[in-house]
Structure 1
């Protein structure tokens, strides 16, 4: 039986802050760099979004954990349409704070090939109405935002002229939100009238943010607390992060299992199974920003990325090692170690094939440290997660580098999927993915 992945932290005395002088604490805080929410992605601002034909304010049809989520939809009618006729709902993904639907439009409508219109423009020219779905708190519970998606689906059905079926899905967590919403509606015997479901680099099995970087966010926050807004680890501790991340730690001094560290993740997966795991009625499509060849980016396990030496302070953070026991991922020293972090039985996620996130680069920039370009980005949504490999989310790490080229149909929960030709940025637009998706919609 496989050993449970875990992390172990050793701290001098009762904690880093208590074991150091005020001057040493300030040296570490200064080294860790600027304030702000770490890992949050700023909105894309290239180009301009057209004015939507309709704007809908949405409210979740039921609360989750006492919280009723809200959101908004921008409706863009297809060429020649005066009302919704062939609706496609495209839900926003994981980030901190409210969705920026104009930025979502400009990101996915980028010209990926000279002389070819953007993705959304092509959809509208095909007679497909685009409904962009956003959330006022992207980091809250997936079930709460799924209730907003339910409201959106119901509104589309009410507003639609004719009886054309819907296409429903989203990017990143948006694919999980709509997956849960459709499965919940089927479980409740509601006719969601959806012919196709799609997910765009969605972490069906889980997502990955390097454990040592999660710890550094907590550490910075504990050494230099903010009083004027959210702290560096605000996104990591959010309900959505706990529900989505394969490995999660609750603070810089946590020692213990990382796969089952959050009750929210266990509860969410149990809830997803309760409503049916996946919706059964729609034809299920998946797009992965990672390659399907099993080859990841060049990130040798255990390689130091940050190796700061500013006498007497030394700070080291490493690419996730591959399995093993008590493999060092981070150290802070003032002569002797005052904080060390080591993982056991954790796979080499950073270098796995998948959609990438520039987590290392963002932290290097925050710390003002030089970083090699190849170390800026690491795997965020492994390809095996984006194509919904038929595995238990708590046991799937042994298949991270699986060649998906000849995958038997019963090895994925999807009906069809497409991998990118390179390990591209999570949620990134590429010719291979967009043209495959358009082909899938051509007969709808």
Structure 2
């Protein structure tokens, strides 16, 4: 039986902090970066956003643990349509705070080939009405935002002209939110009238942010707490992150298992099972920004990404090692006090094929630390997660580098999927993915 993946911190952060002078604390905090929420992607500002014909304010159809989520939908009608007729709902993904639906339009409608209209404009030219779904708290629990998605599906059905079936899905977390929403509606006997479900680089088995970067975000907060807004680890600490990350730690001091560290992930997976795991009625499509050939980014396990040694200060952070016992992933030293972190039985996630995130690069930019270009990005949503490999969410990491080229039909929970030809940025608009998806919709 495989050993449970875990992390061990040898010198606890609060002990480390208490042994430092005020000047030392300030110098380490400065070395760890500027204020702000780490890992939160900035909205896309370049290009123009089309003005929607309709905008709907949405309220979740039911509360989740006392919280009723809210959101908004921007409806972009196809030419010649006065109301939604052939609706496609595209839900926004994971980030901190409210969705920016103009940025979502700009992102998905950016040209991916010279002389070819953007993806959303192509949908409209096919007579498909695009409904962009956003959430006021993208980092809230999936179940809460799924209630907003349910309200959106109901609103589309109420406003629709004719009886054409819906296409419903989303990017990143949006694909998980809509997966849960449709499955919940089916479990309650509600007709969602959806013919196709799609997920765009969604972490069906879990996503990955390097554990050492999670720890450094917490450590920075402990050394330089904020009083004017969320700290560096706010996104990591959020309910959605706890539910979707394969490995998670709750502070820089934590030692113990990383796959079961958050009860929110355990509860979410149980809720998914309760509502049916996946919606059964729609034809289920998956798009993965990672390759399907088992080849990931050039990130050798254990490679130092940062290795800052200046006077008595040392800051080292490493690419996730491949399994093993007590494999070092990070060191912070100032004189005598040393904070070190090591993992055991954790797979080499950083170099796995998948949609990438510039987690290492963002830290380098914030701190001014030198970094090689090839080390800026690492795997965020492994390809085997985006294609919903039919595995237990806690027991799939050994197949991170699996060749998906001849995957048998019963090895995925999806009906069809497409992997990219390169390991592209998570959620990126890619010609192979878009053309495959448009072809899937051509007969609808």
TM-score where L is the length of structure 1: 0.99
Paired position in structure 2 for 1:38: 38
Q: Is 1:261 equivalent to 2:269 in the alignment?
A: no
User: What secondary structure does 1:340 align onto?
Assistant: strand
Task: Output the CA distance in 1 between the equivalents of 2:60 and 2:398.
Answer: 37
User: Are the equivalent residues in 1 in contact too, given 2:19–2:337 (CA < 8 A)?
Assistant: no
After TM superposition, the structure 1 stretch with the greater mean CA deviation from structure 2, 13-22 or 95-104, is 13-22
User: What secondary structure does 2:168 align onto?
Assistant: strand
Paired position in structure 2 for 1:213: 213
Task: Output the CA distance in 1 between the equivalents of 2:155 and 2:47.
Answer: 29
Paired position in structure 1 for 2:196: 196
Displacement after TM superposition at 1:366 (Å)? 1.0
Q: Is 1:234 equivalent to 2:234 in the alignment?
A: yes
User: What secondary structure does 2:407 align onto?
Assistant: coil
Displacement after TM superposition at 1:26 (Å)? 1.5
Displacement after TM superposition at 1:23 (Å)? 2.0
Task: Output the CA distance in 2 between the equivalents of 1:302 and 1:336.
Answer: 25
Deviation per residue, 1:192-220 (Å, 9 max, x gap): 00000000000000000000000000000
Paired position in structure 2 for 1:132: 132
User: What secondary structure does 1:203 align onto?
Assistant: coil
Q: How does 1:354-433 map to 2 (within 5 A)?
A: 354-433=354-433
Displacement after TM superposition at 1:21 (Å)? 2.0
Q: Which runs of 5+ in 1 are unaligned?
A: none
Displacement after TM superposition at 1:336 (Å)? 4.0
Displacement after TM superposition at 1:12 (Å)? 6.0
Task: Output the CA distance in 2 between the equivalents of 1:45 and 1:37.
Answer: 19
Deviation per residue, 1:297-334 (Å, 9 max, x gap): 00000000111111110110000000000000000112
User: Are the equivalent residues in 2 in contact too, given 1:169–1:199 (CA < 8 A)?
Assistant: yes
Q: Is 1:86 equivalent to 2:86 in the alignment?
A: yes
User: What secondary structure does 1:432 align onto?
Assistant: helix
Cα 1:12–1:439 change in 2 (3 A) is: closer
User: What secondary structure does 1:439 align onto?
Assistant: helix
Paired position in structure 2 for 1:287: 287
Task: Output the CA distance in 1 between the equivalents of 2:21 and 2:284.
Answer: 57
User: Are the equivalent residues in 1 in contact too, given 2:95–2:235 (CA < 8 A)?
Assistant: yes
Cα 1:13–1:228 change in 2 (3 A) is: closer
User: Are the equivalent residues in 1 in contact too, given 2:56–2:72 (CA < 8 A)?
Assistant: yes
Q: Which runs of 5+ in 2 are unaligned?
A: none
User: Are the equivalent residues in 2 in contact too, given 1:12–1:19 (CA < 8 A)?
Assistant: no
Displacement after TM superposition at 1:133 (Å)? 0.1
Q: Is 1:154 equivalent to 2:154 in the alignment?
A: yes
Displacement after TM superposition at 1:30 (Å)? 1.1
Paired position in structure 2 for 1:2: 2
What value does the CA root-mean-square deviation take over the aligned residues? 0.8
Displacement after TM superposition at 1:291 (Å)? 0.1
Task: Output the CA distance in 2 between the equivalents of 1:115 and 1:247.
Answer: 42
Deviation per residue, 1:84-122 (Å, 9 max, x gap): 100000000000000000000010001100111000000
Task: Output the CA distance in 2 between the equivalents of 1:237 and 1:187.
Answer: 30
User: Are the equivalent residues in 2 in contact too, given 1:87–1:128 (CA < 8 A)?
Assistant: yes
Displacement after TM superposition at 1:34 (Å)? 0.4
Q: Is 1:95 equivalent to 2:95 in the alignment?
A: yes
User: Are the equivalent residues in 1 in contact too, given 2:206–2:393 (CA < 8 A)?
Assistant: yes
After TM superposition, the structure 1 stretch with the greater mean CA deviation from structure 2, 333-342 or 289-298, is 333-342
User: What secondary structure does 2:10 align onto?
Assistant: strand
Paired position in structure 2 for 1:351: 351
Paired position in structure 1 for 2:331: 331
Displacement after TM superposition at 1:337 (Å)? 5.1
User: Are the equivalent residues in 1 in contact too, given 2:13–2:339 (CA < 8 A)?
Assistant: no
Paired position in structure 2 for 1:300: 300
Task: Output the CA distance in 2 between the equivalents of 1:39 and 1:382.
Answer: 17
- Number of aligned residue pairs: give it: 444
User: What secondary structure does 2:218 align onto?
Assistant: helix
Paired position in structure 2 for 1:71: 71
TM-score where L is the length of structure 2: 0.99
User: Are the equivalent residues in 2 in contact too, given 1:13–1:19 (CA < 8 A)?
Assistant: no
Paired position in structure 2 for 1:106: 106
Deviation per residue, 1:346-371 (Å, 9 max, x gap): 00000000000000000111111111
After TM superposition, the structure 1 stretch with the greater mean CA deviation from structure 2, 184-193 or 74-83, is 74-83
User: Are the equivalent residues in 2 in contact too, given 1:331–1:337 (CA < 8 A)?
Assistant: no
Task: Output the CA distance in 2 between the equivalents of 1:246 and 1:198.
Answer: 21
Task: Output the CA distance in 1 between the equivalents of 2:274 and 2:173.
Answer: 19
Cα 1:13–1:294 change in 2 (3 A) is: closer
Displacement after TM superposition at 1:13 (Å)? 8.7
Paired position in structure 2 for 1:60: 60
Paired position in structure 2 for 1:309: 309
User: Are the equivalent residues in 1 in contact too, given 2:249–2:261 (CA < 8 A)?
Assistant: yes
Displacement after TM superposition at 1:31 (Å)? 0.5
User: Are the equivalent residues in 2 in contact too, given 1:69–1:147 (CA < 8 A)?
Assistant: yes
After TM superposition, the structure 1 stretch with the greater mean CA deviation from structure 2, 15-24 or 399-408, is 15-24
Task: Output the CA distance in 1 between the equivalents of 2:384 and 2:149.
Answer: 25
